[in-house]
Chains A and B, each alone.
Chain A
Amino acid sequence: MNVFRFLGDLSHLVAIVILLLKIWKTRSCSGISGRSQILFAIVFTTRYLDLFSNFISVYNTSMKIVYITCSYATVYLIYGKFKATYDFNHDTFRIEFLLVPSAILAFLVNHDFSPLEILWTFSIYLESVAILPQLFLVSKTGEAETITSHYLFALGSYRLLYLLNWLWRYFSQGFYDLIALLSGILQTVLYCDFFYLYISKVLKGKKLSLPA
Chain B
Amino acid sequence: GYMTGSHDEL
Contacts and interface: CB of A to CB of B under 8 A. Distances in A.
Given A174-B1, A177-B2, A120 B9 contact: no
Where chain B touches its partner, the secondary structure class is loop
A54 B4 CA distance: 13
Contacts of B9: 5, 162, 165, 180
A149 B1 CA distance: 37
Give the interface residue-count category, chain A: 20 to 34
Dominant SS among interface residues on chain A: helix
Contact of B4 (A50, A63, A112): A112
B3 to A, nearest CB: 5
Contacts of B6: 50, 54, 56
A60 B8 contact: yes
A125 interface: no
A62 B10 CA distance: 11
Interface of A: 5, 9, 12, 50, 54, 56, 60, 63-64, 67, 111-112, 117, 120, 162, 165, 174-178, 180
CB-based closest 3 A-B pairs: A177-B3, A111-B4, A54-B6
